[in-house]
Chains A and B, each alone.
Chain A
Amino acid sequence: MEKYIDKKEILTKALLIMNPKIKKSLLSVDLNDRDDLEQEIKLKIVEAVLGGKIDFPPTFTDYYEVFTNKAIQQANNS
């Protein structure tokens, strides 16, 4: 499944969505350091995505099965 997903596209989407949040976190540092920090944060994010640091999520079917199995187990235990 992993090769069917365009990670870069999701990355761009996430960066666009989260841009205000990143900008907000810059407010806590010195005015001269803000551009540096912004660059470093974005670099870290890109590295995390391309380096596979973020766990790959299960597919819908897998997730559904795991969830229902867990529910059955819990029902049996109690």
Chain B
Amino acid sequence: MEKYSSLSEFKKKNTEFLSQPIVQSFFDDSRNLSLLELSVVDGDIEAQNQLDRRFVEHFFLCRLIKYISTLSFRFSIDFNKRRRKQKENFPLLVDQPNNESNSTMLDYLSVTQEQLTIVNEGESSNIFELVVDEALYKILMKLGKKEKEVIQLILGDQLKQIEIARILNESPQNIAKTKKKALMKIRKQYEKRG
């Protein structure tokens, strides 16, 4: 680079160069400006090398930022498209048609209303016989007679507390109390067991 007598002379002769956006943003940092002065006015080689390196770093950063900006914008659009296509081409496993019959996997897995009523009818007999857990069964057997009765009516027969009160000829509050006590007992003993 040729020499100049002062920084202002360089600025005057290179207005167009200095008005380039990349150069402008580079010299926003005053340290770069003093480096330029050293290299242009004094002919300092070390300063010029440093200036070159800092300029490359700055330029590279700018290019990278531009790249990220475009990439993140375009890539999200692309990504969206890809995801949508994937969903169309590969539906969930349960939605795929079954080979043997023309129903889907979902039809096979789901429970129909008929099946539900069968289960319900079988269940209504005795709630205590349905208990599989041995520890829980023992605890249930230890409950008082009235507590057993209330639990059976609530859980087994799915009755409301008011209905139970009518059947047992007691106040609803009393039924609620009995139920609460029984459940507390079960929970306490069940937790103690472990």
Contacts and interface: CB of A to CB of B under 8 A. Distances in A.
B99 interface: no
A64 B63 contact: no
Nearest to A15: B68
Given A60-B52, A64-B1, A54 B71 contact: no
Interface string A30-72: 1001000100110011001100001111111101110110010
A54 B63 contact: yes
B76 A57 contact: no
Contact of A5 (B16, B53, B75, B83): B53
Interface stretch (B54-62, B121-129, B182-190): B54-62
Contact of B68 (A7, A40, A45): A45
B80 A1 contact: no
Interface residues of A, number: 41
Interface string A2-28: 001101001101110110011011101
A61 B83 contact: no
Nearest to A63: B55
A21 B68 contact: yes
A41 B68 CA distance: 8
A41 B57 contact: no
Contacts of B76: 25-26, 28-29, 37, 41
Contacts of A4: 53
A68 B59 CA distance: 18
Contacts of A49: 64
A57 to B, nearest CB: 3
Contact of B80 (A13, A17, A18, A29): A29
A30 B53 contact: no
Contacts of A41: 71-72, 75-76
A59 B83 contact: no
Contact of A57 (B63, B67, B79): B63
A11 B63 CA distance: 11
11 contacts: A1-B56, A5-B53, A5-B57, A7-B60, A26-B76, A44-B71, A45-B68, A54-B60, A57-B63, A61-B1, A67-B20
